[in-house]
Structures are given as structure tokens and as C-alpha cells.
Chains A and B, each alone.
Chain A
Amino acid sequence: MTTVAGNGQTAFEAVVTQLTLEADAVVSVRLERADGAPLPAWEPGAHVDLILPVGIARQYSLIESPPDFSSYRIAVLQQRASRGGSEYVHVFLRPGQRVGVSAPRNHFALDPAPSYLFVGGGIGITPLLSMARDAQARGARWSLHYGGRSRRSMAYWRELVDRYGGAVQVWADDEERPLPLERLLARREEGTLLYCCGPAGLIDAVRSLAAERGWPEEDVRFERFAPTVHEHGPDREIAVTAARSGVELVVEEDESVLDALLRAGVGISSSCRSGVCGACQVAVLEGEPDHRDDILTSAQQAAGDTMLPCVSRARGERLVLDV
């Protein structure tokens, strides 16, 4: 059975079948469909929305599924300044409780390559777990550098070391062994793809160092948990045409393009509403987007033929969207 979540996306009714404390302040959640049917298959790097009983939807990377996809596992960090999602999972969620789970999405796909450098910080290890498994199974060369405050707070470090040995290096601040980014990025083997997930500081450091050391931008892939602050033009009124729906509308300066589309009854999926999940991505047929998301690469942003209407607006006064 599928249900439609409040944000217009298809979601499965799921049951929490296991909660596991994986590290200090990290709980993993195993989810199965309420009707016992298999869940959709997914590729490394994918994430789902977890829709909590209070209606909050949050995005989490998928960690593992059995071969028959009868369950998903995600891991959630308890955040002291929770906006409600992390707190609900840690304090209130119980085995047997019903939640919603969206179909998987993937904006952090593991592209084929002869070798990979994985860099994870804290809970940012989660999408890299399935990537390492996949790279290993395909016989690719890879190494994973996992940094965190202390081993106690780092989920899955022991399992990773046990399974992959020297391919995995654990770097803990409290052992005075922080992630040696300078050294890791100094040499680039031709064809190596870099995948990085973690707090904003880590991603920013990796991106700027990689650029300095001559890594091509398209070979450095990252996924953020929270939106970054973007420099952008003023918020102005925009005339938007939803070409496929045949709807013309005005986006006022204090509302998002997404909200205006939804209000006008245009069918469009959405999830994070902050430019980090990619659910609402639409093709731009006319007009120049003012990009404010953390999904598109700078090449994609420059091409201007796609945008994230939950945060991005227009440089001009008009947009025509393929929706």
C-alpha cells in the first residue's frame, strides 16, 4: 500500500522494526513496509524521506538493505538543537510505530571509476557505507577516511575496519589525529572520484583544497545535510509559466517559486524545502534562474536549464518551467 504524503510525494507506510544505538548519540532505524511487501531497490548514495507521526519529513541516507529489499536501515544523529526530527527519532520513536518512507532519491550517485577516495565526517559516514561496499564488490581501488570527534561518537568505525582492514582509516580529534586533508588531496591519481559527506566545514575545506590541488570540479562529489548561505540577488516578484500544466502565476517576493506553484495547484514533489534534497528539481525552458541550492554543480547552474524552485528564484522577471 502506498500513501501520498502531505508534500505530494508517494510514500510507503512503514513500521519501525528495530532501533539500535550505534554510537554515542547515533541511533539506527530499521524500516519495513507495513504490508510486508518489498521496498524499492536503491543504489549507493541514495536517501529517503522519513515522515514522522507528527508530520515532519527529514532526509536520511540509506545504509543497508537485505538482498530482497525487505527493509531499509538509516542512522540518525541526536542533535542538541533539534528542529524536531532528530529529537523525535531519539526520544519518542519505538519499535512497532508507523511512519512514512518515501521512494529513494539519489543526488550522490556512485559513478563507475577505477578508483575512489571517500571522505566522511561524523554522521556523514552514512552514504559512504554503501559506496564502500559497492566499490569493494566491483573490485575498484578505494580508500575511506573517516573523521570524527572521538571513536565513541563515530558509528560503524569498528565494522568498517573489521571488514575492509587498511582501506579504512579512522581519524579522531580526541586522539589528536584529525583528518589529514592536505595529505589526502595532495596527490590525485588519474580517474579517481572523490566523494565527501559531513559537516559544512569539512565539505568546504575539501572543496577548496581539491580545487587548489587541481582536482576537476566534476570529480569532487559531496552531499550536505544543511543548506549553505548563498550570495544571491534580491527577492523580486517573478512571472512564472508552468508550461506543461498550462498555468501562469505570479510569485510574490516573500514566497518561494515552489510554494506559488503548489498554491496554483501545479503538481510538483518537494521535501527538504531548503535546496539540499533535490526532490523539486524542474527543467527551465525560458528565463535565467538565480540558483541558491546545494544540489546542482556549478556547470549545471551555469547551464541554467534546471533549477530547485524551493530556494532558487530568477535573475529576470520571468521563468518558464517544464512542469
Chain B
Amino acid sequence: MSERLAFRRLDREEIRAVVGHPHEMIATKATATIGETARRFVAHSPFLTLATCDAHGRADCSPRGDGPGFAKVLDERTLAIPDRTGNRLVQSFENLQENPAVGTLFFVPGLRETLRVNGAGYVTDDADLLRRFDSDGRRARLALVVEVAEVYLHCGKALIRSGLWDPRWQSLADAMCRGIGVFSLREIEKGAPTGTSAAFDAWLEDVYRRQL
């Protein structure tokens, strides 16, 4: 491997000198509890990102999603996210054993603003709680409970600039994959394709269909 690139590292004061300080209204808009707007936000959100970190500070961010409202606000200081079949690496849950810090970012399709909920997380198999996540006869096996510490509505600038919900940008998926699957591309890149990309994609589609 080549030597890692290195650039000048700014400290806090140097960064502030460039970006300035937030307006007081923005600096104080975080709350410690989930209010009415945040509750509505969560109830309409089908997707979130989940950031965790191990004891050594190694960070990890992973996607979570299901039908709108799949994560539930249990009370103004408690959020629960069901765990459905994933890749079984459960890196987030491994991290939580070492460090309970959790950062989530909720998205609502078509909405430019996002909702950040931070707190301390733990994993449970509480049967009454899991029952609340039943959908189409499927029961979640585990749930992540987040004891909420900070709730914050992000303005929409990043999503506006990115055009994330703009249908025109859907064509990026084809440009990225060039007609085959992401994982097939990766296999080819590694120089070790285990089969044709068509066979691999068919297998993956079957996994997606059967194990969602």
C-alpha cells in the first residue's frame, strides 16, 4: 500500500475562523426529549442511519429501514428500532457492548430536512416490545432501545444541494453499476469472481426477496 495522504490538520479555533459561530437560534435548537414534531417525523420515516463506535473510538455507520414508522417512539425519552435480518455482522450491536453511544439520522422520502436523535443504546429481546414491531406476520428478533439525550432537526441544505429526492438523479444508479450489481463489480475488482455476474445478481435478488 502507498503511504497514507496527509494534510494540515486544523484545530477548533482554526475551523471556527473559517465557518464562524452558529446563530443562537440554531445553537440552542437541540432538545433533550422527543417532541411532537420529532414524533411525527419518526412515525413517517422508513429509513435511518445508525452510527455507533467501539471502546477504541472506531466508528461505524449502517443503514436501517422498513415501512414508514418502523422505528417507534415509546415515550419522549425512549426510541426503539427493530432489528430484522441483516448481514449478521451485527457490528452496531458489538459496538454497543463496548460503548453505548448511538447517533441516528432519520429520513422521510421527499422531505429535505432530517432528524437527528442521539443517546445511549442497548439491545433487548423483550417480548412485549418485539410484538409491537410485528408486520405481515414477521416478528423482529431483537430491538435496539435508545435512551434519548439529544434531538435535533437538521435544515435541508445538504439534501437540497445533493438533489437526493430528485428523480433525475436516479440515473446515477445505472452509471455507478454499469448494468451489473454492486457486489459483482466488487468481485471483478478483487480479481476473484466466483461465478458470472448474472448468476451472482440472481442469487442476490433471491436473497433480497426471501430474507427481507
CB-CB < 8 A to A8: which residues of B?
none
A295-315: which have CB < 8 Å to B? 310-311
What residue of chain B has the Cβ atom nearest to residue A254's Cβ?
B210
What residue of chain B has the Cβ atom nearest to residue A270's Cβ?
B136
B141 within 8 A of A: no
CA of A165 to CA of B153 in the docked complex: distance in angstroms? 54
A22 within 8 A of B: no
CA of A310 to CA of B137 in the docked complex: distance in angstroms? 9
Asked if A54 and B44 sit within 8 Å, CB to CB, the answer is yes
Asked if B43 and A87 sit within 8 Å, CB to CB, the answer is yes
CB-CB < 8 A to B131: which residues of A?
81, 83
Contact residue among B39, B128, B135, B136 (Cβ-Cβ distance under 8 Å from A81): B128
Asked if A91 and B135 sit within 8 Å, CB to CB, the answer is no
B18-69: which have CB < 8 Å to A? 39-40, 43-44, 67-69
CB-CB < 8 A to A83: which residues of B?
131-135
A56 within 8 A of B: yes
B161 within 8 A of A: no
| Number of A-B contacts defined by CB within 8 Å | 40
Asked if B67 and A54 sit within 8 Å, CB to CB, the answer is yes
CB-CB < 8 A to A87: which residues of B?
43
CB-CB < 8 A to B133: which residues of A?
83
Chain A interface residue count: which class?
Answer: 10 to 19
CB-CB < 8 A to B154: which residues of A?
none
Beyond A55-B67, A83-B135, A274-B137, list 9 extra A-B contacts (CB 8 Å): A54-B67, A54-B68, A56-B69, A83-B132, A84-B132, A87-B43, A91-B43, A92-B40, A273-B136
B88 within 8 A of A: no
A263 within 8 A of B: yes
CB-CB < 8 A to B68: which residues of A?
53-55
CA of A87 to CA of B71 in the docked complex: distance in angstroms? 13
Given A55-B67, A84-B72: A91 in contact with B39 (beta carbons within 8 A)? yes
Asked if A54 and B69 sit within 8 Å, CB to CB, the answer is yes
CA of A87 to CA of B40 in the docked complex: distance in angstroms? 11
Given A81-B128, A263-B209: A54 in contact with B134 (beta carbons within 8 A)? no
A256 within 8 A of B: yes
CA of A225 to CA of B120 in the docked complex: distance in angstroms? 36
A52-107: which have CB < 8 Å to B? 53-56, 81-84, 87-88, 91-92
Query: Which positions in A face B, CB cutoff 8 Å?
Result: 53-56, 81-84, 87-88, 91-92, 255-256, 263, 273-274, 310-311
B119-137: which have CB < 8 Å to A? 128, 131-137
CB-CB < 8 A to A88: which residues of B?
43, 69
CA of A256 to CA of B135 in the docked complex: distance in angstroms? 14
What residue of chain B has the Cβ atom nearest to residue A275's Cβ?
B137
Query: Across chains A and B, which 6 residue pairs bring their CB atoms closest together, nearest first?
Result: A54-B68, A54-B69, A84-B69, A273-B137, A83-B132, A273-B136
CB-CB < 8 A to A273: which residues of B?
136-137
CA of A81 to CA of B4 in the docked complex: distance in angstroms? 52
Provide a sorted-by-A list of 6 A–B residue pairs whose CB atoms are within 8 angstroms.
A83-B133, A83-B134, A84-B69, A88-B69, A92-B43, A273-B137
CB-CB < 8 A to A55: which residues of B?
67-68
B134-175: which have CB < 8 Å to A? 134-137
CB-CB < 8 A to A256: which residues of B?
137
CB-CB < 8 A to B135: which residues of A?
83
CA of A311 to CA of B131 in the docked complex: distance in angstroms? 17
B52-97: which have CB < 8 Å to A? 67-69, 72
Smallest beta-carbon distance B122→chain A, Å: 20
Smallest beta-carbon distance B210→chain A, Å: 8
Smallest beta-carbon distance B125→chain A, Å: 16
CB-CB < 8 A to A274: which residues of B?
137
CB-CB < 8 A to B137: which residues of A?
256, 273-274, 310-311
What residue of chain A has the Cβ atom nearest to residue B138's Cβ?
A273
CA of A82 to CA of B131 in the docked complex: distance in angstroms? 9
CB-CB < 8 A to B132: which residues of A?
81-84
What residue of chain B has the Cβ atom nearest to residue A274's Cβ?
B137
CA of A81 to CA of B129 in the docked complex: distance in angstroms? 8
Asked if A54 and B43 sit within 8 Å, CB to CB, the answer is yes
CB-CB < 8 A to A311: which residues of B?
137
CA of A56 to CA of B39 in the docked complex: distance in angstroms? 17
CB-CB < 8 A to A84: which residues of B?
43, 69, 72, 132
What residue of chain B has the Cβ atom nearest to residue A84's Cβ?
B69
What residue of chain B has the Cβ atom nearest to residue A227's Cβ?
B137
CB-CB < 8 A to A255: which residues of B?
210
* Most chain B beta carbons < 10 A, residue from A54, A273, A274, A310: A54
CA of A92 to CA of B41 in the docked complex: distance in angstroms? 10
